[in-house]
């Protein structure tokens, strides 16, 4: 049976591995490199994060590794658990356990991560994309408010984009549309964080035209959500000994 790998931040527990009993000898940066090299053999990795052990434990590190694919995470867990891998002593690997009461809405990947994921599964030349329409919606709102007695300042920066992804080998085309909205005060505070590249293939028209009806739609996403998902979701996974069956420390 085929596995569905969504273009979204992997937050499921069956895609997250916890690795502990990492040696205290190497630096965290060296361990990050060793872990990435060892576990990327099983599938594309979303992230590798290394942390020092708690003060009450013996010196060393543990790591949280996220895969895009649950199957890849399972293969890695079975192959690497209680193996030496890159150090003299064996490491322990288990699948993460999410607190049942915690639920999060899936977050979209960054553009670079989407391209990396597509290249991994379809090949570098196995897919392509093109922008169908790109329009700044904040300009439309300004024109609608021109008749008002007092001009209203621009409250936010809004962009609409209709894009098509093509898989030539499968004779498949997948169109979709998305919106992004960011308050102007945030844009001014974080100058340089927003950039749009557009290679025109046709003239831009109003996004409310009939041509765009029926496309797959995605929710409007604020720019500030990107880069925060790691901090938000890491706290949802338990590292308690009783939950993972960790042996008592000497």
Cα dihedral 140, 145, 146, 150, rounded to 10, equals -150
In the chain, what are the domain boundaries?
13-95, 125-186
| CA distances, 226 to each of 176, 178, 180 (Å) | 20, 15, 12
The answer to whether 67 and 37 have CB atoms below 8 angstroms apart is no
Instruction: At 55, list the tokens.
Output: 């003060």
Q: Report the pLDDT value the prediction gives residue 57, as an integer from 0 to 100.
A: 79
Contact 117, 68 (CB under 8 A): yes
* Calpha distance 86→70 (Å, rounded): 23
Each residue's pLDDT tens digit, 221-237: 554 554 455 554 454 45
pLDDT in tens, 136-191: 877 655 555 555 555 555 567 788 889 899 999 889 998 888 887 777 665 455 44
In CATH, which superfamily holds the domain spanning 13-95? RRM (RNA recognition motif) domain (3.30.70.330)
Q: What is the mean pLDDT of residues 88-110?
A: 78
* Least reliable range by pLDDT among 14-18, 65-69, 119-123, 156-160: 156-160
Using 50, 70 and 90 to split pLDDT, how confident is the model at 29? very high
The model's pTM is 0.69
Tokens of 158: 């809004």
Find the mean pLDDT for residues 59-70: 94
């Amino acid at each position: 049976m085929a596995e569905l790998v969504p273009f979204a931040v992997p937050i499921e527990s069956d895609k997250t591995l916890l690795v502990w009993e990492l040696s205290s000898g190497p630096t965290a940066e060296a361990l990050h490199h060793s872990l990435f090299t060892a576990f990327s053999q099983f599938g594309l990795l979303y992230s590798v994060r290394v942390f020092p052990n708690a003060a009450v434990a013996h010196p060393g590190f543990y790591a949280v590794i996220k895969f895009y694919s649950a199957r890849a995470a399972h293969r890695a867990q079975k192959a690497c658990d209680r193996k030496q891998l890159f150090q003299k002593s064996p490491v322990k690997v288990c699948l993460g356990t999410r607190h049942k009461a915690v639920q999060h809405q899936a977050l979209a990947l960054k553009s670079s991560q989407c391209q990396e994921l597509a290249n991994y599964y379809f090949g570098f030349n196995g897919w392509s994309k093109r922008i169908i329409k790109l329009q700044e919606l904040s300009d439309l709102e300004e024109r609608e408010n021109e008749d008002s007695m007092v001009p209203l300042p621009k409250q936010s920066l809004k962009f609409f984009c209709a894009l098509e992804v093509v898989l030539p080998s499968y004779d498949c085309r997948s169109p979709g549309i998305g919106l992004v909205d960011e308050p102007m005060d945030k844009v001014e505070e974080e100058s340089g964080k927003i950039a749009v590249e557009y290679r025109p293939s046709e003239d831009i028209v109003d996004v409310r035209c009939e041509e765009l009806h029926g496309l797959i739609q995605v929710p409007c996403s604020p720019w500030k959500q990107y880069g925060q998902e790691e901090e938000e979701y890491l706290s949802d996974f338990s590292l308690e000994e009783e939950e993972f069956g960790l042996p008592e420390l000497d």
